[in-house]
Amino acid sequence: MGFIPISIEKYIKKHMQNNPAENKSDLRKRLNSALLDYQNGVRCSCGNDIWVIGSAVAGNKCFNCITGERMPTDDYEIDSAMKKKANRKEQRHINDIKPSEINGFFDDEGYEMNAHLIQKPTLCLTCINNDDPHEELFCNLTRLDQQGEPEFVCFAYKKKQY
């Protein structure tokens, strides 16, 4: 359940295949503007976060108000609109941290990421490395690298023996 994350470029490609008459640069402009609104905290009139992909077509509204459905099933959302921005205030920016103390993860905008907020793919749950604290850093880097990708691939994966 939930949105399928997709990058703006991939979504535009998909959308153009299904709607060849669409004006590509106009679509991109509307997506970027909806994404910017989302990141600025613009909400649907009902109070929910806006659905960027739907808002590019229907104006700034949430998934529920645009589709009338409660939960997305095979619907897409722009990946960068799916990362939680709510805890921003508690996050440190890389410019505010002494260089000697920088050792965590940072997002594209330079904010420190909480390692336990990194989504753990279900694949990891059956992997022996999941129980090894020494592997955690490497595992998190692999996960971080693929946040928003529909399929998780890990070359360090070793299936647990039960």
Nearer to Zn ion by Cβ, of 52 and 127: the residue is: 52
The answer to whether residue 62 forms part of the interface with Zn ion (CB under 5 A) is yes
The answer to whether residue 56 forms part of the interface with Zn ion (CB under 5 A) is no
Footprint (CB under 5 A) of Zn ion, residues 18-47: 44, 46
Residues binding Zn ion: number (CB under 5 A): 5
Nearer to Zn ion by Cβ, of 23 and 45: the residue is: 45
CA distances in angstroms from 133 to 98, 113, 118, 127, 136, listed in the order given: 26, 18, 16, 13, 5
Structure tokens at 85: 């921005």
Residue 74 CB, nearest approach to Zn ion (Å): 20
The answer to whether residue 125 forms part of the interface with Zn ion (CB under 5 A) is no
Residue 7 CB, nearest approach to Zn ion (Å): 25
Query: From the list 31, 35, 53, 65, which residue makes contact with Zn ion (rule: CB under 5 A)?
Result: 65
Q: Which long-range contacts (CB under 8 A, 24 or more apart) does 109-116 make?
A: 113/144, 114/87, 115/140
* List of residues contacting Zn ion (CB under 5 A): 44, 46, 48, 62, 65
